[in-house]
Chains A and B, each alone.
Chain A
Amino acid sequence: MNEGKNISRRDFLKRIGLASVALTGCGKATETTNTANNTTTVVGETKAEDMTYRINPTTGDKVSLLGFGCMRWPTGSDGEIDQEMVNKLVDYAIEHGVNYFDTSPAYCKGKSEAATGIALKRHDRSKYYIATKLSNFGEQVWSTEESLAMYENSFKELQVDYIDYMLLHGVGMGGMENLRKRYLDNGILDHLLKERKKGRIRNLGFSYHGDIEVFDYLLSQHDKYKWDFVQIQLNYVDWKHAKATNRRNTDAEYLYNELQKRGIPAVIMEPLLGGRLSKVHDHIAQSLKERDPERSIASWAFRYAGTFEGVLTVLSGMTYMEHLKDNLVSYAPLKPLTADDLEFLEKVAEEMVTYKTIPCNDCKYCMPCPYGIDIPANLLHYNKIVNAGMMPDENAGTEEYQKNRRIFLVGYDRSVPKLRQASHCIGCGICKPHCPQRIDIPRELARIDIFVEHLKRNKNKKA
């Protein structure tokens, strides 16, 4: 009964959505590309001048379509950020035309801003844009003083005297009440508006996850706040299937179109869904490769996000040089997707939501769990097995079941230390409000625990 309703709604959205993409996406995009249809560079070095740039309507900033997300900086064996590697990545990115760097006081256990600052300090300040956020998540930093201290500290950590793009961080999580407590009642938003006037902040915006009421409210106040940009989660699954993750989540199609109506440029986060659009199910990987054997699986997601003309930049948390190089291929220059490609990706997304993966993006906002569970590691192991098509299925025949059972259990112990496995989750729910994807973490962990227990017990299961 419920299913039937969902399908019809989805079909409806699909019709509307595809039409709008075809119009906004492809019409203008053709002018930014100068590559012939079937000749694309898929490996090797790209040129800085080939980078696709978008113009920020309020400040006229020429922003590279590829933005560097600084949430996943590489770490050494000691778990500390590998600064040398960070410098190398930043140097290479700037050399190849990347000029937008997005960080936050909350990233990399609070060390991202400093590391990003050190790397960027070595370059001409006019050559890049810095985006950071006021990440006053915890109740202890909601006061005016604490929040202001956090704001001022970002300048120190980044070693700059102005910030190009400043964001209210993750509004929507915790609903309107949370927004009021974090930014409105304590006067922080008013302060940031003043700072913009003074020029210490060049662009003011917010990043949104969660409760749609907050998004709608902030946009309804656009005349008052004059948002220079808004950061949203957009990718070919979330465009129409955000509700597959959580019924209360909102499709990116709506978010993007609301911004377009008001002419607000969109900064895109999670274009890859935390890697879930690169680590896809084998079937999907095959069909993507069949369509373009020379491009990486991830490149589809990046080109998808870049195809929307109202997108200012697409953020990618690039830990490894190969990620950076692959993304440069996608954006220097961007070869926008055709209407046909978009339709194809919509089909991929439809197929993807039928695979029962857990929508974890490994952002680690849920961590640390006070009881020691490595939450993302548990969820990602489960996803990995689902995507590899290796879920132990008792109906698959004894031998197949035994093989997959072993792969699941041995792999589980390898990926997650025993004491950090789902069986130790007490279900306290402390993690739950922190998940930007609004995953019911205790429920998912309990599900994995029951599944693992079932596997352990059914050692000699006869099919």
Chain B
Amino acid sequence: MSNLDFQNSPKTQNNRETTYKIGMLRKIRLTIGCLMLAAATWLFVDTSGIAAAHLNWIAKIQFLPALMAGSIITVIVLLVATLLLGRVYCSVICPLGLLQDLIARVGRAAKKNRYTYSKAKNILRWGVLGVTVIAFVAGIGSVVALVAPYSSFGRIAQTLLAPLYEWGNNIAAQIAESNGSYAVSETEIWVRSIPTLVIAALTLVGIGIVAWMNGRTYCNTICPVGTVLGFLSKYSLMAPVIDKSKCISCRKCERNCKAACIDIAGTKEIDGSRCVTCMNCIDTCPKGAISYTMRNRTAKVEAEGGETPSGRRMFLTMLGLTAASVASAKKDKLVDGGLTVIEDKEPMKRETPLVPPGAESLRNFRRHCTGCQLCVAKCPNGVLRPSTDLGSLMQPVMSYENGYCRQECTRCSEVCPAGAIKPYEEGAKSSIQIGHAVWVKERCVVLTDEVSCGTCARHCPVGAISMVKYDAGDGKEVRIPAVNEERCIGCGACENLCPSRPLSAIYVEGHENHKIL
């Protein structure tokens, strides 16, 4: 009963050729893992809204976001699961871990038996965790965002995979259009933030190379979640355990351990703090000496050491590079003699950044957000994009040059797993004030073009703008917009639709604390 390894049949033990069979446990892990990776990826790239409606629980069971959101139950369930079964979170729930497994698999296909045991880098592990905690307490969200594993995955999916998916979607939309179908609609592909794109690309390349060469090194040296869960999994009830009496020291398990945590030459123990319970070793062992079973509590494996892993240097390089880039995304315009060329709007400079309704305050938002980009991916109005400010790098901010925060949309609050954007009741949005509109006299077309306008007033969903009389000089009376700051909610309809280009003549200034009107 204690032995859960179904692979352990006499036939396999006698057959030395059989080195890599898929056992039941691994089969389960692979199935769940594949589904989870596919679902998490789809959650980020989907443009139809179906994924967000049905799969946002994937984001909500992620450890760090749940911790940020204060979802005590989720956190306790994950901790208890780790204490019982080991780091199953890392092997079947964390999408970044799954992505690494996928890359590592390709690496293993290229070169068999490529891993070797290495000692735990505990100083680095606890060091990164310490820095993360300090950054969180200090409210430097960008540091937390940088090391959060699920957020790293989110950035890769949103900035690198989503454009490919959208491109495919748009081809499908064109085919649909030519067939008179309305099933697929076109979506706009745009780069929201160059620094975040660069970070995502470097993360993918960095983690990709490390995963290819060494498997789960990132999870066992940098990842703060890995460190916390590793601390617990060391004492987990169940774990893969080597039956030393059966072991022939062939080191097949060690060479196939992507966590580099099986020390055959030394203690013949598996380092429980780094093992992600992938079950590969169980299947690899020609003698059936490894089984997933109750841990032998007397044998504590503790490895010490403080070498710099290859992943670390790469990681620091990433940090340095991100500071240097600047965002500027020009879209293609259709130019036809019969149509006026429309100048692109430039993002406004705002003294106080704008964050979505449900954030409650800038401070709350900055503290909770892990920069996973899920809200950015799901924003249907082109409003959310990652910040380029160093202190809040990768955490989303709002801007209205491509669209505005529409009243019927509550998408970002629905998907946010970290409690940075809290859900609110549909309909409540029109009473949440996130900022207020400011009129810029010098740019208003009523005065510059001498035409009558009123676009901002017409589109204000809360009636905060009215057109009032104004003496334009020479006794000419015109009507200009007047903002009732008390009633304005900061949705940006006025700013987005304002005919003044490239800078709008009316724009929204953010508020530190959101108010319920």
Contact = CB atoms under 8 A, between A and B. Distances in A.
Interface stretch (A112-120, A204-212, A317-325, A413-421): A413-421
A367 B458 CA distance: 23
A397 interface: no
Interface in B438-485: 445, 449, 451-455, 458-459
B451 A430 contact: yes
B32 interface: no
A428 interface: yes
A268 B326 CA distance: 60
A371 interface: yes
Given A368-B339, A370-B340, A426-B445, A410 B182 contact: yes
Given A424-B499, A427-B455, A79 B336 contact: yes
A459 B177 CA distance: 22
A82 to B, nearest CB: 15
Contact of A371 (B177, B185, B408, B499): B499
Contacts of A374: 339
Interface in A425-463: 425-430, 446, 456-459
Interface in A234-251: none
Given A369-B340, A413-B185, A417-B334, A424 B497 contact: yes
Nearest to A111: B337
Interface in B32-65: none
Contacts of A429: 452
B182 A407 contact: yes
A181 interface: no
A222 interface: no
A411 B184 CA distance: 11
Interface in A390-412: 406-407, 410-411
B408 A427 contact: no
A411 B186 CA distance: 10
Contacts of B336: 79
Contacts of A54: none
Given A426-B455, A427-B452, A429-B452, A457 B340 contact: no
A423 interface: yes
Interface in B64-106: none
Given A428-B453, A429-B452, A423 B459 contact: yes
A143 to B, nearest CB: 24
Contact of A109 (B338, B342, B407, B455): B338
B338 A426 contact: no
Contacts of A369: 339-340
Chain A interface: which size bin? Answer: 20 to 34
Contact of B186 (A371, A413, A446): A413
Nearest to A364: B338
B406 interface: yes
B163 to A, nearest CB: 19
A372 B339 contact: yes
Given A426-B499, A428-B452, A420 B407 contact: no
A414 B459 contact: no
A107 to B, nearest CB: 12
A420 B342 contact: yes
Interface string B314-355: 000000000000000000001011111110000000000000
B368 to A, nearest CB: 28
Given A426-B455, A427-B455, A429-B452, A406 B182 contact: yes
Interface string B477-498: 0000000000000000000010
Contacts of B338: 109, 364, 367-368
B509 to A, nearest CB: 23
A407 B459 CA distance: 24
B185 A420 contact: no
A364 B454 CA distance: 25
Given A109-B337, A367-B338, A368-B340, A426 B453 contact: yes
Interface string A64-81: 000000000000000100
Contacts of B445: 426
Given A367-B338, A372-B340, A414-B177, A426 B406 contact: no
Contacts of A424: 455, 497, 499
Contacts of A367: 338-339
A22 B389 CA distance: 79
Nearest to A404: B182
Given A109-B337, A426-B453, A427-B454, A372 B182 contact: no
Given A367-B338, A419-B342, A457-B408, A410 B453 contact: no
Contacts of B177: 414
A74 to B, nearest CB: 15
B188 to A, nearest CB: 8
Contact of B458 (A372, A407, A446): A446
Contacts of A426: 445, 451-455, 499
A368 B455 CA distance: 19
A371 B449 CA distance: 11
Given A457-B408, A459-B408, A372 B454 contact: no
A404 to B, nearest CB: 10
A369 B177 CA distance: 27
Interface in A334-389: 364, 367-372, 374
Contacts of B341: 372
Contact of A79 (B337, B449, B454, B499): B337
- CB-based closest 10 A-B pairs: A428-B451, A372-B342, A410-B185, A426-B453, A368-B340, A372-B340, A457-B408, A410-B182, A426-B455, A109-B337
19 contacts: A367-B338, A368-B339, A370-B340, A414-B177, A414-B185, A414-B186, A419-B342, A423-B497, A425-B455, A426-B454, A426-B499, A427-B452, A427-B453, A427-B455, A429-B452, A456-B408, A457-B408, A458-B408, A459-B408
Given A424-B455, A427-B453, 18 more contacts: A367-B338, A367-B339, A368-B338, A368-B339, A369-B339, A371-B340, A372-B340, A372-B341, A374-B339, A406-B182, A407-B182, A410-B185, A423-B497, A426-B452, A426-B455, A456-B408, A457-B407, A459-B408
Interface of A: 79, 109, 364, 367-372, 374, 406-407, 410-411, 413-414, 417, 419-420, 423-430, 446, 456-459
Interface of B: 177, 182, 185-186, 334, 336-342, 406-408, 445, 449, 451-455, 458-459, 497, 499
